[in-house]
Chain A
């Protein structure tokens, strides 16, 4: 197990270099001088453009630029935006908010999605099954921003149960509604995935064997059926957590949450390439670590999988 983790961690190194190089080159090679639009319809003073070009090493070869960037990155310096704000400050402010939002969304997915899936998978009630299938279909077919607006208008403006947007500190309470919106799509998938998985495994040989051995039903379902059915769901949730940690551009936009997604969007729109590179580098790392954790969790669920 220890060696497996070490091997995986070592694999992260080339992946990290490869992806950051790719991101850096792609982001900075996007056509369009980032300073061309800085002075509106006027021409910017050439001295300004020259100094900014020099500051961001744009007068160097793109690969030299990349290594200069990496050198600073290893000293913990993510660089600055064109307005002189440290990008590490921006990330430091936004990340806790994104993590809170992701955790809330994951709880919704896990609790409601799994519960609905297990109830419909195990149960035989037609009505409940139809209810879950139809409601999940609705959630899947609605774009997130529509769900967001509906929740915002109904609960925020008409009923006044929640504030319409999230305040700058983004406390947990205010993130519940956005978290639900963010989770809605995945929640529906989790419910359906769990349901199908359980229904299939109900007829599996090992379940029949367990019943034939005379094990109590509780044990058959709890230990054999559910745990095995959880593997595909776990994969999905793991991937989803990685995606959630990357921020949610649409949901953050609707509720004005100052998370990572909004920063990425703003960086792309205003051509703050340094900001985009820094953020995406972090996201790559988060995604890699999340993947590793999910892989390790398989061993918990499936005794057949061992990492030795």
Chain B
């Protein structure tokens, strides 16, 4: 044995030095004029056209403002950058934007920033996840051909025309009565000139420049995104705090503990331990609320599995599920039983489209089952994570108890895996699904899901009469009469039951002492401009 002993002794002071050095750092307190909210890590670069999930849109919505924003309580579009959006014919719109709005780099927002941004998002080689939100615009097929191998003819949609610094015209390929209500969605946000010049868009997205109420300050991936107020902001959705932090938590439990102890200011992802017996209502007295969101949970019944084609069986299943009990016992009231295919909080929606077919009724369920003559087993596919297993087990139990049919769970390990199985039509039977509104139109809950060939029509449902009604609604002169026709289409679903409506979401959330009121939007996300500072 030779020198190692000295080495071992040397290690000790080093550890001590590290300890001492570390103690000096940290402890930087945050000022009173800042607010933090619970978030998850954005799954895509911070670009509006590449954002389609809450983690990203919660920050993108603060850093950008489109033609409209949405009222968090009613979902109605509120004009922001839009000075006027005029429908000049069933397929053409003339859009004027307000003058003097600036991006965070000081350049003015002009009509071309909108047009260039929409073109960029739609152009196939740019591979933006939101590309198909622009499919209604004329010339979309030329920049984004349906066949993925085909080369796009051009990178500009013919339906977009800049008519001046503050005016542009949009031509649609077919009438679409609720088109203007979509214009507050992320895919329709403007982008600054420097974005288009940037050679590496992902690098650019590390320090994004928008035109919204908050400016980007700093991002530590997986940890936080810090933003500061854009003081020259002219929109009505101003933020009442100087600094906003989107904080990422690895577990809902940790976020909740932070909320209760005042380290976090807003939390809309309360963990089961807080929901059980309404514990959060005691922990957060006068600092909690619950809100219906535009989120719809359903059980899809695929047409490509022959035994599910009989509407009588579909109705029997719908009548056999005790939604009330599952909502209360498993979801602790965070879901309410669905009585239609469109959440009733939606502007222009007519509640109760499913009516008695969505109420638990064992006698009637047995009647319909007898009519269908079905005796086999039922299977439900889902991903097992995200708290899905428990309620599907309960739904299965409810079916077995009422109808005496065997019910089997087909659980996939992750959402991606589950989605892939369903898209490949390899699922043995029914499967669960969730749909969150992107923009507040009844249409948003119907065309994509049940229209023939709709992008989310995984059930291969096709009903010519229903399609005709949708086309009629799309051709309506304005969005209000359009909504009415869409609601009529919704009622037609009751005969076929392409999917069984199960739940509408009813989200509980809480806030800290720093706020006198937290705000949650019915788009199922926090609404930071609605956070009111507490008065001291």
Q: Which of A's residues lie within 8 Å of B, judged by CB? A: 1, 31-48, 50-52, 80-85, 89-90, 93-94, 100, 103, 107, 152-153, 156-157, 163-165, 167-174, 252-256, 258, 262-263, 265-266, 269-271, 296-297, 299-300, 303, 306
Question: Quick one: closest A residue to B248, CB to CB?
Answer: A258
Instruction: Given contact pairs A45-B144, A256-B255, A258-B222, enumerate 11 new A-B contacts (beta carbons under 8 Å).
Output: A32-B416, A32-B417, A36-B423, A40-B53, A80-B202, A83-B44, A171-B23, A172-B19, A266-B222, A269-B385, A299-B4
CB <8 Å contact, A254 and B129: no
A107 vs B19: C-alpha distance in the bound complex, in angstroms? 11
CB <8 Å contact, B127 and A253: no
CB <8 Å contact, A254 and B254: yes
Chain A residues positioned under 8 Å from B25 (CB to CB):
169, 171
Q: Which of A50, A156, A169, A258 contacts B261 (CB 8 A)?
A: A156
CB <8 Å contact, B127 and A51: yes
Chain B residues positioned under 8 Å from A36 (CB to CB):
416-417, 419-420, 423
Interface residues of B in 361-406 (CB under 8 A from A): 385
Q: Which of A90, A153, A171, A255 contacts B254 (CB 8 A)?
A: A255
Chain A residues positioned under 8 Å from B455 (CB to CB):
42-43
**Cβ contacts A to B, 19 pairs, < 8 Å:** A36-B417, A39-B129, A40-B52, A40-B53, A40-B436, A42-B455, A43-B423, A93-B222, A103-B19, A152-B257, A157-B257, A164-B258, A164-B260, A168-B220, A254-B253, A255-B254, A258-B250, A300-B5, A300-B8
Given A90-B221, A253-B251, A262-B250: A37 and B261 interface contact (C-beta under 8 Å): no
Shortest CB distance B69–A (Å)? 22
B26 at the interface (CB under 8 A from A): yes
Shortest CB distance B308–A (Å)? 19
A88 vs B327: C-alpha distance in the bound complex, in angstroms? 44
CB <8 Å contact, A34 and B416: yes
Chain A residues positioned under 8 Å from B255 (CB to CB):
256
A113 vs B460: C-alpha distance in the bound complex, in angstroms? 63
Question: Quick one: closest A residue to B43, CB to CB?
Answer: A83
A219 vs B467: C-alpha distance in the bound complex, in angstroms? 93
A84 vs B412: C-alpha distance in the bound complex, in angstroms? 27
Chain A residues positioned under 8 Å from B132 (CB to CB):
42, 45
B413 at the interface (CB under 8 A from A): yes
Q: Which of B28, B148, B224 contacts A46 (CB 8 A)?
A: B148
Chain B residues positioned under 8 Å from A153 (CB to CB):
257
Given A33-B416, A43-B456, A85-B221: A256 and B423 interface contact (C-beta under 8 Å): no
CB <8 Å contact, B263 and A163: yes
CB <8 Å contact, B414 and A37: yes
A262 vs B53: C-alpha distance in the bound complex, in angstroms? 21
Over the window 455-470 of chain B, the binary record of Cβ atoms lying under 8 Å from chain A Cβ atoms (1 yes, 0 no) is 1101000000000000
Chain B residues positioned under 8 Å from A263 (CB to CB):
222
B45 at the interface (CB under 8 A from A): yes
Chain B residues positioned under 8 Å from A252 (CB to CB):
250
A15 vs B250: C-alpha distance in the bound complex, in angstroms? 32
CB <8 Å contact, B124 and A270: no
CB <8 Å contact, B222 and A48: no
Chain A residues positioned under 8 Å from B434 (CB to CB):
40-41
CB <8 Å contact, B127 and A48: yes
CB <8 Å contact, A254 and B251: yes
Question: Quick one: closest B residue to A46, CB to CB?
Answer: B148
Shortest CB distance A119–B (Å)? 22
B27 at the interface (CB under 8 A from A): yes
Which of B23, B148, B224 has the most C-beta atoms of chain A within 10 angstroms of its own C-beta? B148
Chain A residues positioned under 8 Å from B45 (CB to CB):
83-84
Chain A residues positioned under 8 Å from B52 (CB to CB):
38-40, 42
B409 at the interface (CB under 8 A from A): no
Interface residues of B in 17-62 (CB under 8 A from A): 18-19, 22-23, 25-28, 41-45, 52-53, 56
Shortest CB distance B63–A (Å)? 16
A95 vs B242: C-alpha distance in the bound complex, in angstroms? 32
CB <8 Å contact, A163 and B414: no
Q: Which of A40, A258, A300 contacts B1 (CB 8 A)?
A: A300
B270 at the interface (CB under 8 A from A): no
CB <8 Å contact, A103 and B15: yes
Q: Which of A38, A51, A89 contacts B221 (CB 8 A)?
A: A89
Q: Which of A35, A83, A168, A300 contacts B4 (CB 8 A)?
A: A300
CB <8 Å contact, A256 and B254: yes
Chain B residues positioned under 8 Å from A84 (CB to CB):
44-45, 202, 205-206
CB <8 Å contact, A50 and B127: yes
Q: Which of B127, B224, B260 contacts A157 (CB 8 A)?
A: B260
B173 at the interface (CB under 8 A from A): no
